[in-house]
């Protein structure tokens, strides 16, 4: 078993006071970001189903003559490197959505359609997800939950508006202060379902989110560059088929390599996603899976408003550098990440400074506290 302890130099917790200017910025955005994650709306659940999108990497060879054939390579997604059949879907904005991961929120829906998913720590030792959709969409996604100060640092360089259920005013101010466009629980993009209790019952549609972003005249620009280097992967070290993330005192998260994909568990319990309800049919559950796991280790600190309003929340410093790990195909690459600002992507390198290339595939990115442990065997 390989154990990676958190480095001593960055394991301490830092208390950051958010300046008052953030609250002023928030005031300019408050009208567009209404709602919070504790007050139900009156929206009734419509009968909805996910929009199926294809992520095949290449098309089959087309024979033009008995002696000549050609292979058409599909344009790659900037979020996971997978080929996209409809190239026009790459010429539009990405949309980022904050997803609840409380045990009462599971199983989630729609995250299996995302082009990439971030996981990050919130209070209570829990994690939440940010599901990012660029060429893909879903009409049944959730539960949607509130924003945190780390969120904008993960979506700013993608250029995506952020759908949240709300946030403390000072947190919304921080998000807006980064220049990230907000989509809140205003009834135009989200709805409440009846099979879960608030605040874990707010769901949404990325199609409605795109419409709302258009109505607000938000930029419709695609990500400027791939979030990582995709292609023939950098060789990794074997025997990394069972990976454990010790996020907190909550049950650990495990990913098991099956020979074809990684399956997610909470301790020994499979972590499932649920299909959208269809009239006269019972929803079904399937286990969350990924092809590639990227781990960005970061220093945890407590963020709060300089005015003393609201409560402090955990956050992660995603600017600078730190250890990084890439798991694919049952192997692991150990390296580093670095970036100078939230406007830049994470650059992954080996110890000698050479760039890490990761394979195209379903991507899960963990922003992991560097004073906690990731183990594999």
* Class of domain 229-376 (CATH, top level): alpha beta
Could you confirm whether domain 10-51+85-215 is CATH 3.40.50.9100?
A: no
Res. 71 pLDDT band, cuts 50 70 90: low
pLDDT digits (tens, 9 = 90+) for 335-373: 999 999 999 999 999 999 999 999 999 999 999 999 999
35 vs 39: CA distance, rounded Å: 7
Res 257: pLDDT: 98
pLDDT digits (tens, 9 = 90+) for 253-286: 999 999 999 999 999 999 999 999 988 888 999 9
pTM for the whole thing?
Answer: 0.83
pLDDT digits (tens, 9 = 90+) for 191-234: 999 999 999 999 999 999 999 999 999 999 999 999 999 999 99
pLDDT at 15 over 80: no
Question: Which residues lie across from 14 on neighbouring strands?
Answer: 301
Query: What is the distance of C-alpha 219 from the center of its chain?
Result: 20
Question: Which residues lie across from 305 on neighbouring strands?
Answer: 18
Res. 46 pLDDT band, cuts 50 70 90: very low
Q: Which residues contact 9 (CB under 8 A, 6 or more apart)?
A: none
Q: Which of 162-166, 181-185, 223-227, 231-235 has the lowest mean pLDDT?
A: 181-185
Res 362: pLDDT: 98
Asked whether the beta carbons of 178 and 342 are under 8 A apart, the reply is: yes
* Domain range list for the chain: 10-51+85-215, 229-376
User: Above pLDDT 70, what percent of the chain?
Assistant: 81
pLDDT digits (tens, 9 = 90+) for 80-134: 999 999 999 999 999 999 999 999 999 999 999 999 999 999 999 999 999 999 9
Res 184: pLDDT: 82
Residue with tokens 């054939």: 69
Q: Please determine whether the domains at 10-51+85-215 and 229-376 fall in the same fold group of CATH.
A: yes
């Amino acid at each position: 078993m390989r154990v990676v302890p958190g480095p001593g130099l960055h394991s301490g917790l830092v208390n950051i006071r958010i300046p008052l200017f953030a609250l002023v910025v928030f005031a300019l955005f408050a009208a567009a970001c209404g709602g919070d994650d504790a007050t139900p709306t009156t929206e009734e659940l419509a009968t909805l189903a996910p929009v199926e999108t294809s992520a095949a990497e290449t098309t089959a060879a087309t024979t033009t003559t008995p002696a000549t054939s050609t292979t058409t390579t599909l344009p790659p997604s900037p979020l996971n490197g997978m080929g996209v059949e409809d190239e026009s879907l790459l010429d539009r904005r990405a949309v980022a959505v904050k997803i609840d991961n409380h045990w009462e929120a599971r199983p989630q829906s729609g995250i299996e359609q995302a082009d990439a998913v971030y996981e990050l720590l919130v209070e209570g030792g829990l994690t939440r997800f940010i599901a990012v959709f660029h060429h893909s969409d879903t009409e049944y996604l959730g539960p949607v939950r509130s924003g945190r100060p780390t969120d904008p640092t993960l979506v700013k360089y993608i250029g995506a508006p952020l759908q949240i259920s709300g946030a403390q005013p000072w947190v919304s101010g921080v998000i807006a202060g980064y220049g990230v466009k907000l989509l809140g629980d205003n009834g135009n993009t989200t709805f409440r379902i009846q099979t879960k209790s608030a605040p874990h019952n707010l769901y949404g549609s990325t199609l409605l989110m795109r419409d709302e972003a258009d109505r607000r005249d938000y930029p419709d620009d695609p990500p400027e560059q791939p979030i990582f280097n995709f292609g023939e992967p950098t060789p990794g070290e074997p025997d990394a088929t069972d990976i454990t993330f010790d996020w907190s005192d909550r049950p650990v998260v495990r990913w098991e390599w099956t020979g074809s994909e990684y399956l997610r568990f909470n301790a020994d319990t499979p972590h499932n996603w649920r299909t959208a309800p269809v009239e006269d049919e019972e929803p079904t559950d399937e286990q969350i899976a990924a092809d590639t796991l990227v781990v960005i280790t970061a220093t945890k600190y407590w963020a709060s408003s300089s005015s003393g309003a609201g409560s402090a929340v955990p956050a992660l410093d995603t600017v600078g550098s730190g250890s990084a790990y890439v798991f694919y195909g049952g192997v692991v690459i150990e390296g580093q990440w670095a970036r100078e600002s939230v406007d830049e992507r994470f650059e992954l390198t080996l110890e000698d400074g050479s760039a890490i290339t990761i394979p195209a595939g379903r991507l899960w990115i963990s922003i992991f506290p560097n004073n906690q442990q990731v183990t594999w065997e």
